C-alpha cells in the first residue's frame, strides 16, 4: 500500500496566514472578495512540524497540473505548470522557466519553437495588482527592476521603480518579488517566489556583502570575488569540523563528503564546474585544504598533496584573455583515507594538456608559468649552467607581447615551486634535468632557418640558439641541425635523406618542442604519484576532486576549445543525470506520486559529438586518416552530414557553430586535422633517443611503448601513430565518467561575476547566462518538490530499527519503517513509500540521526562501564592467582633451602645446648657472689679506678665533638666571606693544628686504655694460676684419705665481669672456699692441667698480638704528628687519622671476638669441675 501526501491536509506557511488574514479583513469590510492566489502546500524544512493554523477556504484547491499557481511560496513545493494556450507541450527554457513572459531565442534548440510566452494565472495577477505588492519589471533592455504597483489600466500597470521613475508595464512583464525578510537567504530553496530576478537579486545581495557562497539545493554556487577574503582560515576549518556552523561554504561540501564517506563507507566525489575564470582551481584547492586538515596524520602526506598544487599550476596553468591563472589541463585528484579517516595516499590523473601553447600564443596571453618563473627566479649558478636569458629574449615567450601579470612575482613563485618540488620528493638532480629540458625548449624556439637554393631547401642558422639547445639536449650541433632540416626516406633497402622546406622545418622544430613539454609534464605527474602512492594499504575509501578546464568561447575557437567544451558537455550530462533524470526515473519506477519537472537536457548536443556513424568526433577521425584531406574538406563534410542537426550550424568557409548548453560557439577548423593527428616523425623520435640528456631518451622510450600498445589493436602504421587525440580524449572522458558513477557526487558551480576580473562588480547578464546554462532554477525546483533522501526498506529498518520500543517491533522491513516514522511523529506528507525504497523530504532524517546518535552514545557508555568491570574482575582474579603461585614457589624454594641447611641446623642445636648450660653456670656463680657480697659488713660495690678514667675520657670526647660541631656550624658561608678568605687562612691552619693535638690526646687515651686492659689480663692470668694451684693442693689432700676441714681457695671472679675490651671494668679476684672432701681423680686433674696449659697459651698469644698492634698504632700516630702545622697537607693528615681510626675499630672488633672465644673455652674448663665443685659445696 502506497502512502502519499494529501496537499489539502498540509499546514499553511507564514505567508499563507498573512494572506488569509487579509481575506478575512476584506470580508469584514463587506467588500468584493479577492481571494489570494493558489498557494501550494509545503512542509517545513529540517523536519520541523509547521504550526497548525486556520485552513484555507473550501474553494481553495491545489492545482492538478492545469490550473496551479506557477510560483512557489516560502519554502514551498513546486506546483504543476499550465500548458500554453496553443496546447503545445511546455519545454524548459532554462533558468527563468516560471516568469510571466520571456522572449525566446528562435535559434536555440532547447526553447519552444513557437516563441510564445507564458502568462500568470488571472487570480494571481489580480491579487498582486489589487494589493499593490512589490514586483520585478522587465525593462526594454532586458534587465529587471524592482518596483511597486501604483495603479492598473486594463492589461497594463503603472509601476513606481526604485529609482523614482514611473513606467507602464504589461501584466505579462512583471513577476512577484520576495518580502524583505527573505533578502540574502543562504539557500535559494527558502525563497517565496523562485523566479529569475529574485535569484539574481539574492546572489547579488550576498556578493555585495562578501558572502560568495549560496546553496541551490544540492549545488553550491560559488561566485568568484576576485579578491582575498578572510574566510578560509583554521578557525573556519575548526568550526565546520566540529559542526558549529552549517552556512554555505566549500568547507561544508568537503565536510559532507568526508562524513558520508566515513558513515556510509562509500567513495565520494566533488565535481567543480564553471566557465573559464570562475575560480574552479582555487575552489579545488580550498576543498583539498579542508580534507588535509580533517585527515591529518603523522606521515605528512597531506602536505605533499597540498604542494602538488604549486607544481601542477606552474607546469599546467597559464594566463589567458579570461583568466590570469587558467588551468590548461583537466585533473582528478583521488585522495585515499584509512579506516580511521586519516590521509595516507593520493593519485593525480590529468587530461589533455594544451601543448600547442608552448609554441603558439594569442595576443595578450602567456605560455605556461614555469618558463617565466625559471627566467626570473633561477639562481646565478643555474642561469650560467642553462645559459638562461630574460623571458623577453625567447621567441616562444615574446610573440604575444605579454611577459608579466599584474600583482604576480614570478621570482617568488619560482622559490615556492622549488620548495614544493622538495616536499613531493623530486630530488635536486631531477630538478636540474627538468630545468634543462625547459631551457632547451626555449632555445629551440630561437633557432632560425634560411632558404638555401631555388628549390626552397633550407639550412639552419648556426648561432647561439643551436649551440645552447644542442648542449642542453646532450647532442652535437650538427645532429640537431640535421634533425631540423632533413627527413629520412626509406625505400626497400636504402635510406635517403631529403631537405625540408621552410614550413616543414618550422613544424618539425615545434613538434619536437611540444613533444618534449608534454612528456615532461606527464613525467612530473608520474613522479608526484610515486611520492603519494597508496600501494597495498588501499582501503577503498576515497574522495575525488575534479577540476577540469572550464567552458570557453572565443571569437574563433580552435581545436583545444572544441575538446574542452566537449568535456564540459559530458560533465553537464553527468550532473543532469544525477539531479534530474535518475531521480525522476526512480520516482516513476518505484510508484511515487510525482509531477515531472522539465529541465534543459544537453543529450542532443552530446549525440552531435558522439553518435555514430556521423558525429563530429567520428568525422574528424575519418578525415584525419585520409592523406589528402584538409581542414576545408573536413568542414564541408560536417556541413554535408550534420546540416540537419538542430545543434549544428554550418558557416562560411572552414567555420561551423555548435549550440552548447552554455551557448553557441563558433569554431574555425584551421589546424583541426593536424592537431588531431598529433604527428611526431619517427626521425625526430630517434634523434631524441640518441640524446645524452637523461630525460629525452626516456621520453622516446615511453613514446615507443605507447606505439606498441596502439599497434597491437591494429591502428595502422607507425607514422600514423596511435589513436587520434579526440579518440584518446574520448576514452579518458568515458573512464572518468565511469569512475565518477561509482561515487556519491557533490556539485559546486563556480560563477564569474564580470569579464574584467575586478572585485565588487556584478554583471547581471553574465551571471544570468551562467545560471541558465547550469539549470540552477530547475535544480532548486526538483530539490524542493523531490525526496532527496532515499533508502531501501531494509537499509532504513536496519539503521533505525533499534530505536523502536519492544512493543512496536516487527519482522518485515516495511512494517518496521512505518513504525519508526509513526513513533517519531514524522508527518505523512514528509515521506512516501515506494515499491522498494522509502523517500523522505529534505531534513527529515535529522531527528532520527540525532536520536540514533544519542542512543549509540548511551550504549557506548554502558559498554565502557561493563568493559571496565570485566577488566577489573579479570585483574583481581589474575592478581589472586599470581599470589597463590608465588606462595607455592616461595614454599618450594624454602623447602629446598631447608633440606640443604638441615645438617648445619642440627650442629647449631647442639651448640645451643652447650651455651644454655654455660649461661646457667654463670647465673649460679653470679647469684653466689651476690649473696656473699650482701653478707659482708660493708654492703656496697666497689668499682675499679680505671672506670672513672674511662668515663672522663668519654666526656672529653663528647665535648670535643660538640665543640667541633659548633665550629662547623659557626663557620661563615664561603660565598659571604669570599673576600676575607685570605685573612682567615691562618686561623683555619691554627684550628687544624688544634685538631691534630686533640687527635694526639685521643691516641694517648687509647694507649692508656690498652695498657689498663693489659694489666687486667695479667691479673686475670695470675688469679687463674693461683686457682689452679689451690685446686692441685686440694686434690692432693683428698688422695691421702684424710678428712680435713674446709679450706679456702680463690675462685676467678672474671666470669661475672664485662668484656675486657670495653674498658669499663677490670676483673677482680675474689677468694672462694671449697670443701676439702671434694675428690677428683687423677685423670680429671690431668685433663684440667691440659686445659689450663691450652688456656694459658691462648692468652699469651693474645697478649703478644696486642703488644704488636699497639706498637704499630703508636708508630703511625707519631708519623702523622710529625707533619708540620703550616704544611698544605694538613687536610690529608686528618683524613689519615680517620682511616687509622677505622682500622683500629676494625681490629678491636676482631680482637673482641677472639677474647669471647677464649672466654668460652674457660667456661668449658669450669664445666668439667662441676662434680668436685658440687661435693665441695656440700
pLDDT at 308 over 70: yes
H/E element, 1114: helix 1082-1121
Q: Which of 240-244, 314-318, 673-677, 699-703 has the lowest mean pLDDT?
A: 699-703
Last residue of a domain, one of 699, 731, 763: 731
- In a domain, residue 614? The reply is yes
CATH of residue 587: 1.20.58.530
| Ligand-binding site membership of 275 (annotated) | yes
Q: Per residue in 920-942, pLDDT tens? A: 888 888 888 888 888 765 544 44
CA atoms within 13 A on the CB side of 26: 15
Q: Which residues contact 950 (CB under 8 A, 6 or more apart)?
A: 1009, 1063, 1064
712 and 747, same domain (yes or no): no
Name the one residue in this structure whose C-alpha cell is 556519491: 744
1047 and 1171, same domain (yes or no): yes
pLDDT at 873 over 60: yes
Count of CB atoms situated within 10 Å of the CB of 829: 19
Q: Choose between 387 and 1101: higher pLDDT.
A: 387
| Ligand-binding site membership of 1083 (annotated) | no
175: nearest Cα among 117, 116, 220, 104: 117
Q: Per residue in 168-180, pLDDT tens? A: 888 778 888 888 8
| Ligand-binding site membership of 16 (annotated) | no
744 and 717, same domain (yes or no): no
| Ligand-binding site membership of 276 (annotated) | yes
pLDDT at 1149 over 90: no
Q: Choose between 838 and 1089: higher pLDDT.
A: 838
pLDDT at 73 over 80: no
354: nearest Cα among 368, 339, 340: 368
Distance CA 63, CA 56 (A): 14
pLDDT classification of 471: cutoffs 50, 70, 90: very high
pLDDT at 109 over 60: no
- In a domain, residue 983? The reply is no
Candidate ranges 722-726, 912-916, 1069-1073, 1101-1105; pick with highest mean pLDDT: 912-916
Distance CA 1047, CA 1072 (A): 9
Q: Per residue in 607-658, pLDDT tens? A: 999 988 889 999 999 998 888 899 999 999 999 999 888 999 998 888 999 9
521 and 606, same domain (yes or no): no
- pLDDT in the model for residue 269: 96
Q: What is the mean pLDDT of residues 267-275?
A: 93
Indicate the number of domains in the chain.
Answer: 4
Q: What is the mean pLDDT of residues 934-959?
A: 53
Q: Per residue in 160-203, pLDDT tens? A: 888 888 888 887 788 888 888 888 999 998 888 888 899 999 99
- pLDDT in the model for residue 995: 82
- pLDDT in the model for residue 59: 40
- pLDDT in the model for residue 536: 67
Q: Per residue in 423-450, pLDDT tens? A: 999 999 999 999 999 999 999 999 999 8
- pLDDT in the model for residue 981: 64
CA atoms within 13 A on the CB side of 609: 23
Q: Which residues constitute the domain of residue 1158?
A: 992-1125+1137-1178
359 and 481, same domain (yes or no): yes
Contact criterion met (CB below 8 Å) for 11 and 51: yes
- In a domain, residue 340? The reply is yes
127 and 226, same domain (yes or no): no
Q: Per residue in 588-601, pLDDT tens? A: 888 888 777 777 88
Chain-centroid distance, C-alpha 354 = 35
Distance CA 693, CA 429 (A): 12
1061 and 1155, same domain (yes or no): yes
pLDDT at 1061 over 70: no
582 and 536, same domain (yes or no): no
| Ligand-binding site membership of 1158 (annotated) | no
Q: What is the average pLDDT score of the chain?
A: 77
Last residue of a domain, one of 166, 183, 200: 183
- In a domain, residue 796? The reply is no
pTM equals 0.63
pLDDT at 418 over 90: yes
- In a domain, residue 628? The reply is yes
| Ligand-binding site membership of 281 (annotated) | yes
SS3 215: strand
From the CA atom positions of the chain, what is the Rg in Å?
A: 56
Q: Per residue in 569-582, pLDDT tens? A: 999 898 888 888 87
Q: What is the mean pLDDT of residues 531-553?
A: 84
Q: Per residue in 668-720, pLDDT tens? A: 999 899 889 887 888 888 899 999 988 888 888 877 666 665 554 444 433 44
CATH of residue 473: 3.40.850.10
| Rounded percentage of the chain residues whose pLDDT exceeds 70 | 73
Q: Choose between 548 and 1118: higher pLDDT.
A: 548
423 and 321, same domain (yes or no): yes
Q: Which residues contact 754 (CB under 8 A, 6 or more apart)?
A: 226, 761, 762, 763, 766
For 906, phi then psi, to 5°, come to -60, -45
Q: What is the mean pLDDT of residues 367-391?
A: 94
- In a domain, residue 1055? The reply is yes
Q: Three cell numbers at 718? A: 607507425
581: DSSP letter: I
- In a domain, residue 928? The reply is no
Angle between helices 985-1039 and 945-970 (to 10 degrees): 160
- pLDDT in the model for residue 143: 81
- pLDDT in the model for residue 205: 93
CATH of residue 26: 2.30.30.140
Q: What is the mean pLDDT of residues 1013-1020?
A: 78
- pLDDT in the model for residue 178: 84
Q: What angle do CA 285, 242, 253 make, to 5 degrees?
A: 40
713 and 736, same domain (yes or no): no
Q: Choose between 348 and 1058: higher pLDDT.
A: 348
576 and 544, same domain (yes or no): no
Q: Per residue in 287-304, pLDDT tens? A: 999 999 999 888 888 999
| Ligand-binding site membership of 274 (annotated) | yes
Q: What is the mean pLDDT of residues 1152-1156?
A: 81
pLDDT classification of 33: cutoffs 50, 70, 90: very low
216 and 107, same domain (yes or no): no
Q: What is the mean pLDDT of residues 68-97?
A: 34
Q: Choose between 1020 and 308: higher pLDDT.
A: 308
- pLDDT in the model for residue 984: 72
- In a domain, residue 855? The reply is no
pLDDT at 422 over 90: yes
Q: What is the mean pLDDT of residues 348-368?
A: 92
- pLDDT in the model for residue 454: 65
| Ligand-binding site membership of 1070 (annotated) | no
Q: Per residue in 986-1016, pLDDT tens? A: 677 778 888 888 888 888 888 888 888 778 8
Candidate ranges 88-92, 102-106, 593-597, 694-698; pick with highest mean pLDDT: 694-698
Q: Three cell numbers at 450? A: 634560411
Amino acid at each position: 500500500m502506497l502512502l502519499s501526501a494529501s496537499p489539502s491536509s498540509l499546514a499553511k506557511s507564514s505567508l499563507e496566514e498573512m494572506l488569509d488574514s487579509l481575506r478575512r479583513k476584506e470580508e469584514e469590510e463587506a467588500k468584493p472578495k479577492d481571494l489570494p492566489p493558489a498557494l501550494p502546500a509545503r512542509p517545513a524544512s529540517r523536519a520541523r512540524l509547521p504550526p497548525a493554523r486556520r485552513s484555507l477556504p473550501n474553494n481553495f484547491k491545489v492545482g492538478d497540473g492545469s490550473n496551479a499557481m506557477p510560483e512557489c511560496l516560502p519554502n514551498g513545493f513546486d506546483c504543476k505548470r499550465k500548458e500554453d494556450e496553443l496546447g503545445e507541450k511546455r519545454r524548459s527554457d532554462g533558468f527563468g522557466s516560471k516568469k510571466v513572459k520571456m522572449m525566446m531565442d528562435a535559434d536555440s534548440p532547447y526553447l519552444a519553437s513557437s516563441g510564445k510566452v507564458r502568462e500568470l494565472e488571472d487570480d494571481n495577477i489580480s491579487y498582486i495588482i489589487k494589493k499593490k505588492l512589490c514586483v520585478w519589471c522587465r525593462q526594454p533592455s532586458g534587465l529587471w527592476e524592482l518596483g511597486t504597483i501604483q495603479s492598473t489600466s486594463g492589461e497594463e500597470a503603472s509601476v513606481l521603480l526604485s529609482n523614482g521613475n514611473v513606467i507602464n508595464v504589461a501584466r505579462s512583464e512583471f513577476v512577484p518579488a520576495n518580502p524583505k525578510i527573505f533578502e540574502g537567504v543562504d539557500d535559494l530553496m527558502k525563497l517565496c517566489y523562485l523566479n529569475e530576478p529574485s535569484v539574481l537579486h539574492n546572489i547579488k545581495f550576498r556578493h555585495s556583502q562578501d558572502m560568495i557562497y549560496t546553496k541551490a539545493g544540492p549545488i553550491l554556487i560559488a561566485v568568484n570575488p576576485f579578491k582575498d577574503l578572510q574566510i578560509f582560515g583554521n578557525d573556519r576549518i575548526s568550526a565546520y569540523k566540529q559542526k558549529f556552523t552549517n552556512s554555505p561554504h566549500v568547507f561544508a561540501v568537503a565536510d559532507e563528503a568526508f562524513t558520508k564517506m566515513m558513515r556510509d563507507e562509500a567513495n565520494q566525489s566533488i565535481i567543480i564546474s564553471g566557465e573559464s575564470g570562475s575560480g574552479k582551481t582555487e575552489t579545488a584547492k580550498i576543498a583539498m585544504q579542508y580534507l588535509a586538515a580533517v585527515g591529518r596524520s603523522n606521515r605528512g602526506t597531506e602536505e605533499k598533496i597540498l604542494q602538488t598544487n604549486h607544481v601542477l599550476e606552474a607546469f599546467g596553468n597559464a594566463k589567458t584573455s579570461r583568466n590570469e591563472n587558467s588551468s590548461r589541463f583537466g585533473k582528478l585528484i583521488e585522495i585515499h583515507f584509512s579506516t580511521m579517516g586519516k590521509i595516507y595516499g593520493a593519485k593525480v590523473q590529468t587530461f589533455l594538456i594544451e601543448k600547442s601553447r608552448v609554441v603558439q600564443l594569442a595576443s595578450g596571453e602567456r605560455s605556461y608559468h614555469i618558463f617565466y618563473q625559471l627566467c626570473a627566479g633561477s639562481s646565478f649558478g643555474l642561469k650560467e649552467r642553462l645559459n638562461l636569458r630574460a623571458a623577453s629574449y625567447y621567441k616562444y615567450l615574446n610573440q604575444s607581447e605579454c611577459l608579466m601579470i599584474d600583482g604576480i612575482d614570478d621570482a617568488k613563485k619560482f622559490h615556492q615551486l622549488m620548495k614544493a618540488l622538495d616536499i613531493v620528493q623530486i630530488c635536486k638532480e631531477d630538478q636540474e634535468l627538468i630545468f634543462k629540458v625547459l631551457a632547451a625548449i626555449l632555445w629551440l624556439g630561437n633557432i632560425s632557418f634560411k632558404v638555401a637554393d631555388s628549390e626552397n631547401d633550407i639550412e639552419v642558422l648556426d648561432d647561439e640558439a643551436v649551440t645552447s639547445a644542442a648542449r642542453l639536449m646532450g647532442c652535437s650541433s650538427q645532429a640537431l641541425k640535421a634533425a631540423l632540416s632533413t627527413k629520412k626516406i626509406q625505400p626497400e633497402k636504402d635510406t635517403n635523406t631529403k631537405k625540408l622546406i621552410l614550413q616543414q622545418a618550422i613544424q618539425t622544430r615545434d613538434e619536437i618542442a611540444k613533444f618534449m613539454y608534454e612528456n615532461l609534464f606527464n613525467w612530473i605527474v608520474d613522479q608526484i604519484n610515486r611520492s603519494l602512492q597508496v600501494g597495498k594499504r588501499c582501503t577503498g575509501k576515497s574522495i575525488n576532486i575534479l577540476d577540469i578546464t572550464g567552458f570557453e568561447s572565443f571569437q574563433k575557437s580552435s581545436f583545444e576549445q572544441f575538446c574542452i567544451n566537449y568535456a564540459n558537455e559530458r560533465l553537464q550530462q553527468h550532473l543532469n543525470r544525477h539531479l534530474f533524470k535518475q531521480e525522476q526515473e526512480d520516482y516513476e519506477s518505484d510508484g511515487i506520486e510525482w509531477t515531472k519537472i522539465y529541465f534543459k537536457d544537453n543529450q542532443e548536443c552530446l549525440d552531435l559529438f558522439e553518435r555514430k556513424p556521423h558525429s563530429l568526433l567520428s568525422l574528424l577521425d575519418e578525415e584525419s586518416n585520409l592523406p589528402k584531406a584538409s581542414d576545408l574538406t573536413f568542414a564541408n563534410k560536417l556541413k554535408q552530414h550534420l546540416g540537419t542537426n538542430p545543434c549544428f550550424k554550418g558557416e562560411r568557409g572552414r567555420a561551423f557553430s555548435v549550440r552548447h548548453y552554455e551557448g553557441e560557439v563558433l569554431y574555425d577548423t584551421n589546424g583541426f586535422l593536424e592537431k588531431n593527428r598529433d604527428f611526431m616523425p619517427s626521425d625526430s623520435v630517434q634523434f631524441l633517443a640518441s640524446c645524452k640528456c637523461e630525460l629525452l631518451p626516456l621520453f622516446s622510450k615511453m613514446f615507443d611503448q605507447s606505439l606498441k600498445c596502439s599497434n597491437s589493436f591494429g591502428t595502422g602504421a607507425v607514422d600514423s601513430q596511435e589513436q587520434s587525440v579526440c579518440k584518446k580524449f574520448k576514452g579518458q572522458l568515458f573512464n572518468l565518467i565511469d569512475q565518477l558513477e561509482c561515487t556519491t557526487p557533490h556539485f559546486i558551480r563556480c560563477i564569474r561575476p564580470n569579464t574584467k576580473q575586478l572585485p565588487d562588480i556584478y554583471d547581471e547578464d553574465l551571471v544570468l547566462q551562467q545560471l541558465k546554462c547550469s539549470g540552477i532554477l530547475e535544480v532548486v525546483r526538483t530539490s524542493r518538490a523531490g525526496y532527496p533522501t532515499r533508502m531501501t526498506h531494509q537499509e532504513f529498518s536496519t539503521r533505525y530499527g533499534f530505536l523502536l520500543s519492544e512493543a512496536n517491533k516487527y519482522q518485515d522491513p516495511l512494517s518496521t519503517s512505518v513504525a519508526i516514522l509513526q513513533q517519531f511523529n514524522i508527518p505523512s506528507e514528509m515521506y512516501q513509500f515506494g515499491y522498494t525504497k522509502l523517500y523522505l523530504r529534505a531534513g527529515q532524517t535529522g531527528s532520527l540521526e540525532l536520536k540514533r546518535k544519542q542512543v549509540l552514545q548511551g550504549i557506548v557508555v554502558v559498554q565502557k562501564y561493563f568493559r571496565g568491570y570485566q577488566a577489573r574482575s579479570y585483574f583481581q582474579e589474575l592478581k589472586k592467582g599470581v599470589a597463590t603461585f608465588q606462595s607455592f614457589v616461595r614454599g618450594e624454594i624454602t623447602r629446598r633451602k631447608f633440606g640443604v641447611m638441615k645438617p648445619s641446623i642440627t650442629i647449631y642445636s647442639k651448640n645451643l645446648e652447650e651455651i644454655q648450660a654455660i649461661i646457667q653456670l654463670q647465673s649460679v656463680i653470679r647469684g653466689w657472689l651476690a649473696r656473699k657480697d650482701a653478707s659482708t659488713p660493708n654492703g656496697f660495690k666497689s668499682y675499679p679506678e680505671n672506670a672513672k678514667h674511662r668515663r672522663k675520657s668519654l666526656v672529653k670526647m663528647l665535648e670535643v665533638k660538640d665543640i667541633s660541631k659548633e665550629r662547623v656550624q659557626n663557620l661563615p658561608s664561603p660565598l659571604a666571606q669570599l673576600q676575607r678568605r685570605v685573612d682567615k687562612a691562618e686561623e683555619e691552619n691554627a684550628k687544624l693544628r688544634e685538631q691534630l693535638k686533640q687527635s694526639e690526646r685521643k691516641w694517648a687515651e687509647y694507649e692508656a686504655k690498652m695498657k689498663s686492659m693489659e694489666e687486667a689480663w695479667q691479673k686475670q692470668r695470675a688469679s687463674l694460676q693461683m686457682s689452679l694451684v689451690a685446686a692441685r693442693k686440694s686434690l692432693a689432700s683428698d688422695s691421702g684419705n684424710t678428712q680435713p676441714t674446709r679450706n679456702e681457695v680463690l675462685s676467678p671472679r672474671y666470669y661475672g665481669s664485662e668484656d675486657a675490651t670495653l674498658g669499663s671494668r677490670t676483673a677482680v679476684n675474689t677468694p672462694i672456699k671449697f670443701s676439702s672432701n671434694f675428690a677428683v681423680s687423677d685423670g680429671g686433674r690431668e685433663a684440667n692441667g691440659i686445659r689450663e696449659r691450652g688456656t694459658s697459651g691462648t692468652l699469651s698469644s693474645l697478649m703478644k698480638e696486642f703488644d704488636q698492634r699497639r706498637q704499630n698504632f703508636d708508630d703511625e700516630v707519631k708519623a702523622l704528628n710529625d707533619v708540620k702545622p703550616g704544611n698544605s697537607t694538613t687536610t690529608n693528615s686528618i683524613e689519615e687519622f680517620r682511616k687509622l681510626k677505622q682500622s683500629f675499630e676494625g681490629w678491636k672488633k676482631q680482637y673482641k671476638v677472639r677474647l669471647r672465644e677464649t672466654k668460652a673455652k674457660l667456661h668449658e674448663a669450669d664445666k668439667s669441675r662441676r662434680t668436685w665443685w658440687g661435693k665441695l659445696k656440700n
